[in-house]
Structure 1
Amino acid sequence: MTLAFLDGRPASADDLRALALVNYGHFSSMQVRGRAVQGLELHLHRLRSATRELFDTKIDDARIRGAILAALDGAGVDDASVRVTVFAREFDYAQPDRILPVDLLVSVNPPRQADPSPVWVKTYAFQRPLPHIKHVGTFPLFQHRRQARREGADDALFVDARGRISEGSVWNIGFWDGRQVVWPQADALRGTAERLLQAGLSEAGVGQRHAPVEARALAGLRAAFAANATGIWPIGGIDDITLRPDPALMEALDAALRSQPWRPLAG
Structure 2
Amino acid sequence: MSIALLNGQPADTDALRALAVVNYGHFTAMQVRDRAVQGLDFHVARLQRATRELFGTELPRGRIVAELVAALRAGPADASLRFTVFARGFDYRQPLRPVDPDVLITLGPAAPADKPPLRVKSYPFERSQPHLKHVGTFPLFHYRRQALLDGFDDALFVTPDGHVSEGSIWNIGFWDGQAVIWPLAPALRGTCEQLLQAGLAGQGIAQETRPVALAEAGGFRAAFAANASGIQPLLGIDGVEYAPDTGLMDRLGAALGSMPWENPA
Matched, 1:29 2:29: yes
TM-score (norm 1): 0.96
- Cα distance between partner residues in 2 of 1:116 and 1:83: 19
| Equivalent position SS for 2:214 | coil
Q: Is the 8 A contact 2:225 2:233 kept in 1?
A: yes
Query: SS of 2:45's equivalent?
Result: helix
Q: Name the structure 2 match of 1:263.
A: 262
1:249 aligns with 2:248: yes
Deviations along 1:103-147, one digit per CA (max 9) or x if unpaired, are: 000001111135432210001111001111100000000010011
For the 8 Å contact 1:172–1:190, the answer to whether it is kept is: yes
Runs (5+) with no aligned partner, structure 2: none
Mapped to 2, the partners of 1:114 and 1:125 lie a distance apart of: 31
Superposition map of 1:40-59 within 5 A: 40-59=40-59
Partner of 1:125: 124
Determine the structure 2 residue equivalent to 1:147. Answer: 146
How many residues are matched? 265
1:227-242 to 2 correspondences below 5 Å: 227-242=226-241
CA contact (8 A) 1:84 1:107 kept: yes
The TM-score with structure 2 as length reference comes to 0.97
CA distance in 2, matches of 1:210, 1:242: 22
Between 1:90-99 and 1:215-224, the stretch displaced more is: 215-224
1:74 partner letter: A
Q: CA shift at 1:219, angstroms?
A: 4.1
CA contact (8 A) 1:114 1:232 kept: no
Deviation per CA, 1:56-83, whole angstroms, max 9, x where unpaired?
10011221122122223333x2221110
- Taking the aligned partners of 2:127 and 2:214, their CA distance within structure 1 comes to 18
Deviations 1:84-121 (A, max 9, x none): 00000011110011111000000011111354322100
Provide the residue aligned with 2:61 in structure 1.
Answer: 61
Aligned-pair CA distance for 1:262: 0.9
Checking the alignment, whether the CA contact within 8 Å between 1:224 and 1:245 is kept in structure 2 is: no
Deviation at 1:17, TM superposition (A): 1.2
Indicate conservation of the 8 Å contact 1:6/1:106, yes or no.
yes
| 2:175 alignment counterpart | 176
Q: Retained in 1: the 8 A contact 2:217–2:237? A: no
- For 1:32, give the aligned amino acid: V
Provide the rounded CA distance (Å) in 2 between the counterparts of 1:97 and 1:193. Answer: 33
Give the Cα separation in 2 of the matches to 1:147 and 1:3: 31
Distance 1:205 1:38, change over 3 A: same
Aligned counterpart, 1:5: 5
> Would the aligned equivalents of 1:31 and 1:230 in 2 still touch at CA under 8 Å?
yes
Corresponding letter in the other structure for 2:11: A
Using the alignment, how far apart are the partners of 2:47 and 2:116 within structure 1? 31
Q: Deviations over 1:139-165 (max 9, x none)?
A: 000010011011100000000111100
Residues in 2 aligned to 1:154 and 1:47: alpha-carbon distance in whole angstroms: 30
Q: Which residue of 1 aligns with 2:211?
A: 212
Where does the alignment leave 5 or more consecutive residues of structure 1 unmatched?
none
- Is the 1:201–1:253 contact (alpha carbons within 8 Å) kept by the matching residues of 2? yes
- The CA RMSD over aligned residues, in Å, is 1.1
Question: What CA distance in whole angstroms lies between the structure 2 residues aligned with 1:215 and 1:60?
Answer: 40
**One-letter amino acid matched to 2:120:** V
In structure 1, distance between residues paired with 2:198 and 2:238: 30
